[in-house]
Amino acid sequence: MKIKSLILRNFKGIRNFELNTDGKDVSIMGDNATGKTTLADAFMWLLFDKDSNNRKDFQIKTLKPDGEPEHGLEHTVEAILELDDGQQIALKKVYQEKWTKKRGSATAEFTGHTTDHYIDGVPVQKKEYDARIAEIADENIFRLLTDPRYFNEVLHWQKRRELLLEVCGDVSDAEVIASKKELSKLADILGNRTIEQHRKVIQARRTEINKELEKIPVRIDEVKLGLPDISDITNPDELSNDITKLREELRAKQEELAQVRAGGQVAEKTKELRLIEGQILDLRNKHRQALDEKVGEKSRELSLIQSGMYKLRADINAKNDVIKSYEAEIKSLEAKMENLRNKWREVNAEQFEFNQDTNCPTCGQPLPAEQIEIAREKALADFNRTKAEKLESINAEGKRLAGVKQTMEQNLAAASEALEKAKVNLAELEQNEAALKAEIDYIMQNAGEPTEIFAEYAPMQERIARIRKEIANMQADSNTAIMAIQKEIDTLTDAITALEQAAARLEAWESGLNRIEELKAEERKLATEFEELEQQLYLTEEFIRAKVRLLEDKINSKFKMARFKLFEVQVNGALAECCETTFNGVPYGNLNNGARLNIGLDIINTLAEHFGFAPPVWLDNAESVVNILPTKGQQIRLVVSEKDKKLRVELAENKESIKEAV
């Protein structure tokens, strides 16, 4: 794309300016504040509604000396562009104020702004205009290829890195492995993992192994400290046989002791003793059975009495409820009767009153006295009759209530009498109950021994005492032999316990030594695995270094001046992604303006080749560069020239044409 012409009218202070390039590179000279940057702003606004710094909200209007905008002007930018396919397109935008007369007002009021769009002289809607611009170029790509500063000073380093990889292509893992013979093992080591994934696996496993290796010496020390002392065991191989021999001797002594304790005479006497004790137990059971029968009869009588008491108590409770009901009803009747008496007195105390209008309701003339008297006598008779009827009704109700009350009082008296009888009956049953309980207690307490019933009971008791004495005498004679045998048994038991404890200590000692060997073997195994992981980690680092070299060489080969650092070595030796532009080893940020400009142009050339699109390149502060790198796209150089107080245009053939900002 090339700018054939660019025309500004009333745009950011430039009254009228026309730039004709004929598609050639051009230098625009001018002192500071003469409008050089305004040309770039106008061109970007014409395409994307933003200035050269990518700002959407900026002042387009021409301002007066007091800072206020001039009203009523049309702010116009138009350009003729030659596209890469040789076709030309004319674009135009007109920004102006909108003044509206409201109904009933003689003057118009400012109500906003409008922007008119034209393509090839034909007015179009903004949507159609923007769509046509989008067909020509994407805004982000356009800015990237138009502004030499955009790649290094506007784009985030990650975006720069992505763009370089998109333009130049990444390096596959297979290519990297093939680049160095020592990396050939990596293919089998990685499997389906990426280098980064496998490095994370290695780091995680190395951490685990280090922790385990730190713990193993501690565990070995713990096992050593726990080893029992076996210095007193002189014949460890014979321990098992010695224990077996002592156990056989102990078993023989235990059998001898059992035989002494189970002597013949003692056994016979013991058998006789158990027989007599069984006979006495039978007598006691027969005595208890007779006693239970006597007590059972009395208990049945007691149960019948208690059942009658339960029924009487329930009957008494019911009678109490009935009496309470009668008393409440009588009280209610007395209250009603008292109310009737009061009502009778009120009715009886009523006096006759005669209120009669003495004038005729029809004609209004006074009524005759005889007629008035007749009316009074009639009213008096009606009053007396009504009063007598009311009193008679009250008396009748009172008599009825009195009759009901009398019946209730009779019922109450009968219920009270029945209640007293029930209480007397209950008292009698309670006395009978107490007597039976006392009788049962007496039987239980004075049951006595079976001797009072069975004559053979006492002789049996005496015989038991005699046999027990005989057994005691027999046992006293054998105690000496028993004590001697028991002493030998105790000695053998202590010896067996000591040998078993020694055997347990020996087993624990051997188990501890085996555990120490297991831990040492585990330590050797972990150390071997750690060394293998270290070798794998070294290979992955060599892989990354090889990939960095290949990738940076591949990318840098696409550029004449610019070089790119895509990785940096961290403190721990690891490689971190970055994207830093350099020139002759100097970072972009430390370069002078001329070097930065040419580096930007070098990048634009490569990107233009990649995107297949070369728009005009705007070079601000071009006076700071002696040898400007040529670009595929048209160059528009903005040069600070103190002598040029108005904009001056110089085409690439050094043919000078001056266009003044009017």
| 3-state SS string for 626-643 | CCCCCCCCCEEEEEECCC
What pLDDT does residue 454 have? 60
Q: How many CB atoms lie within 10 A of CB 420?
A: 10
Residue whose token pair is 């009603």: 336
The token pair that represents 253 in the structure block:
């002594």
pLDDT at 617 over 90: yes
pLDDT digits (tens, 9 = 90+) for 334-352: 898 999 899 999 888 888 8
CA atoms within 13 A on the CB side of 445: 6
- Greater pLDDT, 411 or 660: 411
Q: How far apart are CA 195 and CA 545, in angstroms?
A: 12
CA distance 418 to 421: 5
Please report, for residues 167, 178, 567, the alpha-carbon distance to residue 547 in angstroms, rounded to integers and kept in the order given: 17, 11, 10
* CATH fold of the domain at 276-452: Helix Hairpins (1.10.287)
**Residue 659: pLDDT band by 50, 70, 90 thresholds?**
very low
Of 298-312, 331-345, 589-603, which range is least confident?
Answer: 298-312
Spatial neighbors of 309 by CB under 8 A, at least 6 apart, are 426, 429, 430, 433
Q: How many Cβ atoms are within 10 Å of 515's Cβ, its own excluded?
A: 17
Q: Report DSSP letters for 42-55, one per residue.
A: HHHHHHHSS-TTS-
Residue in the structure block whose two tokens are 């008494």: 316
The whole-model pTM stands at: 0.50
Q: How wide is the angle at C-alpha 133 spanned by C-alphas 127 and 134, nearest 5°? A: 85
pLDDT tens for residues 518-527? 998 988 998 9
| Range of lowest pLDDT (191-205, 216-230, 647-661) | 647-661
What's the CATH code, domain 1-137+614-662?
A: 3.40.50
| CA gap 630, 255 in Å, rounded | 120
Q: Which long-range contacts (CB under 8 A, 24 or more apart) does 251-256 make?
A: 253/485, 253/488, 253/489, 253/492, 254/489, 256/485
Report pLDDT digits (tens) over 309-321.
889 889 889 889 9
Same fold across 1-137+614-662 and 276-452: no
**Helix 139-146 vs helix 593-611: angle between axes, to the nearest 10 degrees?**
140
Closest CA to 585 of 553, 601, 563: 563
Q: What is the gyration radius of the CA atoms in the chain, in angstroms?
A: 65
**How far are the Cα atoms of 142, 548, 558 from residue 158, in angstroms, in the given order?**
19, 16, 19
Contact between residue 157 and residue 580 where contact means Cβ atoms under 8 Å apart: yes
Q: Are 640 and 634 in contact (CB under 8 A)?
A: no
Top pLDDT among 596 and 194 is at 596
Between 457-556 and 195-225, two packed helices, what is the crossing angle to 10 degrees? 140
Residue the block writes with tokens 């496998």: 198
656 compared with 413, residue with greater pLDDT: 413
Which stretches of 557-615 are DSSP H helices? 593-611
pLDDT tens-digit series, residues 226-246: 888 877 877 878 888 888 888
Show Cβ contacts of residue 41 under 8 Å, excluding neighbours closer than 6 positions: 12, 51, 52, 58
Contact 429, 309 (CB under 8 A): yes
Residue at token pair 């209530």: 401
Q: What backbone torsions phi and psi does residue 643 show, to the nearest 5 degrees?
A: -75, -20
Give the Cα separation of 226 and 123 in Å (integer): 98
pLDDT at 43 over 90: yes
Task: Share the mean pLDDT of the chain.
Answer: 84
Q: Where are the domains of the chain?
A: 1-137+614-662, 276-452
